[in-house]
Chains A and B, each alone.
Chain A
């Protein structure tokens, strides 16, 4: 486990397995056009990783719903961001 995984492990989530609330609009833009991938640096839950073939993988299970990825993707605006369905996602015990 990486350090951030250990942190996220402490959190409570109700994962909406059927639908991700954040999506990459066009994966090819991440793979080909985006050189800086600010989402990978800035996402506080490390939801974004770059694979060996250059693709960006997004796994929203640990998402803290902060909005960072949407705002930081200024160059390509390639993130479709919504809140999870009511009741799903992060459930802060303390906040």
Chain B
């Protein structure tokens, strides 16, 4: 295939699809390459879909996108070995369309998104791994694939090839990721009858619940767990910094199995049939880990550019937004009859800086480092909070003043007065 395209998009995830869709809609000749058998077959997520990011690209996506449940309740659990303290927010207002967040099954959702890309006019070719960029001096002019037929050329290449972005690394656009900059998450999907899920989570119809978890389930490592309700299945997973797995010598599957046995979690999964086990790396380096995301004839979007807001567990919406903004940049330049040079593509970075993507990442720029160096937020505090709840809630003939003293003593002996103050300061620094 010695054809020339306006743009080649490498990868069929949310960022690549958002870019390819927008470009094709804008009238450019787009080729999208995906290494999986079908779009979605290589992609892993929890998965929550944030409607806003997609609605800005495909406003009527709700008409035919495969969505599981719209979320009406979010629970946050801080777990000890046998207990949890938590909070939840549930609102009937989340039942008013248009719904804000949905659970999705990525293999199905990505297939749908890819169909939209094709309907918009892009050429999508699956089962094709892009092995390298083709360069003319500094300029990226195309890609090389593992199919016979050699190179394919384009005026710009969008790297949407995910967290492992082989292309970016080989080209020297991005250094190898450090183990403390990514979380390794493992997940299982358990199938249960729809009615069982509805009664277990106190929902009707397509209402859904998410539970975000932290504490003893990560066994001292920096990380979080989650449980999401789909229509007829439950996704359960846990992710921790890769550097912590290595240091602590805990295997990811043992960690997940241990979490599933927690007395608060096991009953929610009981009787389910596990049908798939997946793993995925999540960029956690935040603002400081974002590489140079544009150059001569190329742009980087989604996980390849490390665009993940770890604090709020947002990634796919950043992926779609960065894909969209990259496409918008190319469309504008084309309309102005300007070339896709690094100088002109700098507009993409300016768009990112002006959007929620970089604003949010900048807000939490100190957080990854603080969290990594202060594991007490994932170890000592969950234990203290659960102990405090247990002390205060048990009725056992001890007076309330004495109980409060006991709770205070636990906190001070675990962290010291200065330590407690320091931790408050660190939290403020992380979230300021």
Contacts and interface: CB of A to CB of B under 8 A. Distances in A.
A95 B279 contact: no
A42 interface: yes
A45 B184 contact: no
B376 interface: no
B311 interface: no
B40 A67 contact: no
A84 B228 CA distance: 30
Contacts of B188: 7
B147 A82 contact: no
A84 B176 CA distance: 19
Contact of B129 (A70, A74, A83): A83
Contact of A94 (B189, B246, B249): B189
A4 B276 CA distance: 12
A92 B277 contact: no
B182 A71 contact: yes
A95 B246 contact: no
A85 B242 contact: no
B278 interface: yes
A42 B146 contact: no
Contacts of A33: none
Interface string A68-83: 1011101000000111
Given A95-B44, A95-B105, A8 B277 contact: yes
A86 B281 contact: no
A68 B242 contact: yes
B275 interface: yes
Given A4-B253, A44-B184, A84-B129, A94 B42 contact: no
A56 B174 CA distance: 29
Interface in B246-287: 246, 249-254, 257, 274-281
Contact of B127 (A11, A65, A87, A92): A87
Contacts of B47: 95
Interface of A is mostly: loop
Interface in B84-128: 105-108, 110, 126-128
- Which bracket fits the contact residues of B? 35 or more
A19 to B, nearest CB: 11
B127 A86 contact: yes
Contacts of B163: 67
A15 interface: no
B128 A94 contact: no
Given A86-B35, A86-B145, A95-B40, A71 B45 contact: no
B26 interface: no
Contact of B42 (A7, A74, A85, A92): A92
B177 interface: yes
- Which bracket fits the contact residues of A? 35 or more
Contact of B179 (A10, A46, A71, A95): A71
B36 interface: yes
Most-contacted residue by chain B among A44, A74, A82, A95 (CB, 10 A):
A95
A14 interface: yes
Most-contacted residue by chain B among A46, A66, A72 (CB, 10 A):
A66
Interface in B36-63: 36-37, 40-45, 47
A14 B42 CA distance: 12
A42 B245 contact: yes
A74 to B, nearest CB: 6
Given A14-B37, A68-B281, A86-B126, A93 B251 contact: no
Most-contacted residue by chain B among A14, A70, A92 (CB, 10 A):
A92
Interface string B204-217: 00000000000000
A74 B242 CA distance: 12
A37 to B, nearest CB: 10
Nearest to A4: B253
Closest 8 CB pairs of A and B: A87-B127, A95-B106, A7-B277, A44-B279, A86-B127, A67-B164, A38-B246, A64-B279
Given A38-B246, A44-B186, 5 more contacts: A3-B257, A46-B251, A65-B164, A92-B42, A93-B276
